[in-house]
Structure 1
Amino acid sequence: MARSLKATQSALDDQIDPARIRKRWKQHDERWAEAAGISLKTLQRFWDREPIRRANFIAICQAIDIEDWKMIADLSARASSDSSHQSLSLSIPERLVVPQEIKLKTEKNIDFTNLVDLLATNRWKIANYETKRLLLQTVGEVGEEAGFTYELLEQISCTDLSTVDQLWLKYSKGHFGFSIQKLLYDEVGQSCSRLGDQVGWRKNGEWLICLDDLFYSLNAPTGHLPFLVWGSYLDALLFRFESCEPLLLAERLQPEK
């Protein structure tokens, strides 16, 4: 089942717009966002016809009394996207282009120096913590108590997320990184639990939420690191990566022979 959806233009014009007018709501109305349990940014993406999480899409429709969300969704577009994902066959690491030269681009004035040093010296455990700290910093969260929420995951800087991913790919020689996790996620039908089973984040059906239980070695399963969130938060993180990286991810894949 599709994990992200977008509306058709005709549905926005013929069904969504009249329904929100009956509520006397504006397109980007805080009352609408509150009723749906989403952020205003997500509501704006809905109106811009950008893919959003399926649960959020349904909540937006239900908040204006539209129960048949499938009449609103552009299912043909998602089917096309799913078809392209299915073409990714199993030898994922071999198909990724591992970057050799990386420009440390940042939108949020992030200093990647420490992360580069940790990865270059194979200090994977500390690098995992540093990765989480830096990405939290891109959304304004600092300190020992800082943590991700769904809304914060949607706001991670795409530029900084890309830089972090390239660094993990480079220094692990294509063994670790968000790019690999996203490709594996697609291979297992976009199921975070199946992904967790495949890359070693779950044991006996339970998430290894204690970071000390992970494997900080290149002998770990492909895609095992970095590990920042689990469960449905992992869905949100990988969706953010997907929304940020469609072109760059395509550039990192070798054409199939």
Structure 2
Amino acid sequence: MSSPLDGLITELENNFTTPRRLAVIGSTSFWNHSTPAICEITGRKLAQIEDIVLLTGGVSGVPETLSRSFWRHQKPESTSRILHIQPKGFIPYDYGENLTAGDTFPQRRWVLAHLAPVYLLLEGGPGALQEAQWALKAGAIVIPVGCTGGAAKTVYTELTANSEWLKNQWYTETAIAAWQDINNTKASVETITTAIMILIEQALEQKANFTHTKETLITELENVLVAGNWQAANEITFALFHEKIPKDLENPGLIHYGDLDKIPDHILREIDRLWVYYSQGRFGFSVQWLIYYQVILESRINNDMEWQDNFREKVGRSDYILGYNRDEVNFDLDFKLDLLPPGYLPWFFWYDSTNTNLRSGIIGGGGIGWEAILFVASLLERCGIIYPENKVWSRAELTDAISKGECNFCRGNFQGIDLQGLDLSGCYFIKSDFSYSNLSNCKLNQTNFYSANLYEANLENVQCGKTFFQKANLEGTIFTGSQFTAVNFFQC
């Protein structure tokens, strides 16, 4: 990441009074017939945003067309600015502010690629592609309007192929739909520009939220992840968590997993996004949760210890490690990426007041129990990293899915429907809603209702063998005449 131009980057950053910075990159001449209109309308819409800095490379085509439209449509009292970053010797533009960066185009590209948290890419050749790749490597969000072709299409395709990154980056249904729209060659210009604005506004908000942290540990985390220094990244991740959690007065070096809900959503999302992106989808809390979730689905047994053991084995930690000393010579995580199994990291640190002996584990593995991974999962859910929106099921849809061998109905909405007499044995209804539903006379052997809502549900005359109701809401649930064998009602 180091460069002789880093000092110049720092100097130029002194010109910015706001973290809301958007750089526009792309072709210097238009190849797609709709691109000029997209630039014109996007510039007009951007002009309605207050206190934003629009950066360009001081070239014609996409950057000039969009920024001129932005300039023409600005309100007289607007605090927004336009900054053109140009190599030495270039003729300054007659609008906005002109700043010099480097002697050549490659030098200017490097500088521009490190000045903004968000980049908008339309069309583009090899130079714009290089700019976008540098910006991504620096941890910026790049919005490539794939429908315009060129470098934008290339970057869009590459980013979309990383499904975990995509889900973590655009974590709302509106943003996901917008991401699809910017690649739709049949969409109208209005649809495309509306989608662009949705993505820009979410990206700017996300980056602005952690500006105070970005200056320290987030920047350090990015740098070590770029370098593939996984051990350092792991320690910085713990430090980020520890920075946001009030210190334990008796044991100042200890983090209680129940305090993790004090981690701000945007920090948790950013940590997970960086791990997923720089590990090419192999590491991250969301990756670990998906592996753990799959373990639950594959086990067909409601046994949390077995789930934990299988999870540790899948992520390459079959030994039950209670702790280690930081000075041990065999503690070395800096292996080649392709030699580490998916989900191997982050390896959470939980250490004592002396800050020397560390209890360790991947969320829920090693020294951390099953409750910890489910708690961390609830945080990921809270900030939109995992779990899809609840699917509303009908009796017919459920019976059809079961007849086809499906068993994963977690997060489903079964509220108020009549499921009387169905055989739901072996199915997973983790966090599903059965309030006011009729499950009388159902077979529920080895069925998993962990944290499900069964408020005032009718479970008369059901067969429950090794059924899992841990943490389920059973207020008003009717069990008259039901048969129970080895049922888990813990914390209900």
TM-score, with length taken from structure 2: 0.28
Equivalent of 1:176 in 279, 283, 294: 283
Structure 1 pair 223/109, CA: closer, same or farther in 2 (3 Å)?
A: same
- Alignment pair present for 1:160 and 2:267: yes
Specify every segment of 5 or more residues in structure 1 that has no aligned partner in the other structure, as ranges. Answer: 1-92, 252-257
Instruction: Note the C-alpha offset of 1:208.
Output: 5.8
- CA change 1:139–1:169 in 2 (3 A) is same
Report which structure shows greater RCO (CA 8 Å, sep ≥6): 1
CA distance in 1, matches of 2:211, 2:312: 30
From 381, 394, 402, the counterpart of 1:242: 381
Higher strand share: 2
Give the SS at the match of 1:163. helix
Question: 2 CA distance for matches of 1:238 and 1:213?
Answer: 27
Q: 1:136 to 1:104 in 2, by over 3 A?
A: farther
| CA distance 1:176–1:129, change in 2 (3 Å) | same
Shift of 1:107: 5.6
User: Is contact 1:177-1:226 (8 Å) kept?
Assistant: yes
| In 1, Cα distance between equivalents of 2:258 and 2:169 | 33
Mean CA deviation greater in 106-115 or 118-127: 106-115
CA distance in 1, matches of 2:247, 2:210: 15
Aligned to 1:96: 164
Q: 1:213 to 1:197 in 2, by over 3 A?
A: farther
| Equivalent residue for 2:369, pick from 220, 231, 255 | 231
SS in 2 for 1:109: helix
In terms of fraction of residues, the more helix-rich structure is 1
Match of 1:196 in 2: 312
- Measure how far apart 1:178 and its partner are: 1.1
- Whether contact under 8 Å (1:176, 1:223) holds in the other structure is yes
Equivalent residue, structure 1, for 2:224: 118
Which amino acid is 2:243 matched to? Answer: Q
**Rg larger in structure:** 2
**Which consecutive residues of structure 2, in runs of 5 or more, have no partner in the other structure?**
1-160, 171-202, 297-303, 349-360, 362-367, 390-492
- Deviation, structure 1 residue 94: 6.5
Contact 1:131 1:164 in 2 (8 A): yes
Q: 1:238 to 1:202 in 2, by over 3 A?
A: farther
Q: Distance in 1 between matches of 2:380 and 2:277?
A: 18
Three-state SS of the structure 1 residue aligned to 2:283 is coil
Cα separation, 2, equivalents of 1:231 and 1:108:
33
Amino acid at match of 1:195: F
Q: Which amino acid aligns with 2:287?
A: I
What amino acid sits opposite 2:311 in the alignment? L
CA distance in 1, matches of 2:317, 2:234: 14
Matched, 1:221 2:341: yes
- Given the two structures, how large is their TM-score scaled by the length of structure 1? 0.50
Give the distance between the partners of 2:244 and 2:232, measured in 1 at CA: 19
Aligned to 2:7: none
Distance 1:235 1:250, change over 3 A: closer
| Alpha-carbon distance change, 162 to 94 in structure 1, aligned in 2, over 3 angstroms | closer
Q: Report SS of the residue matched to 1:202.
A: coil
Change (3 A) 1:122 1:141: farther
The AA in structure 2 aligned to 1:221 is P
Kept after mapping to 1: 8 A contact 2:222/2:274: yes
Is the alpha carbon distance of 1:192 and 1:245 closer, same or farther for their aligned partners in structure 2, counting shifts above 3 Å?
farther
Distance 2:285 2:263 in 1: 13
Query: What code does the residue aligned with 1:245 have?
Result: G
Percentage of identical aligned residues: 25
Query: How many residue pairs end up in the alignment?
Result: 156
Matched to 2:343, the amino acid is: G
Among 245, 250, 253, the alignment partner of 1:139 is 245
Q: Check whether the contact 1:208–1:214 (CA below 8 A) recurs between aligned residues.
A: no
Deviation (angstroms), 1:249: 6.2
Task: Kindly report which structure 2 residues correspond to 1:18-167, keeping only aligned pairs within 5 A, or say none.
Answer: 95-97=163-165, 104=207, 106=209, 109-110=212-213, 111=216, 112-141=218-247, 145-167=252-274
* Structure 2 Cα separation of the partners of residues 165 and 152 of structure 1: 18
1 CA distance for matches of 2:387 and 2:317? 23
Contact 1:105–1:159 (CA under 8 A) maintained in structure 2: no
Q: Measure how far apart 1:197 and its partner are.
A: 1.9
Task: Mark the CA change 1:160 to 1:97 in structure 2 (over 3 Å): closer, same or farther.
Answer: closer
Asked if the contact 2:241–2:260 (Cα under 8 Å) also holds between the matched residues in 1, the reply is: no
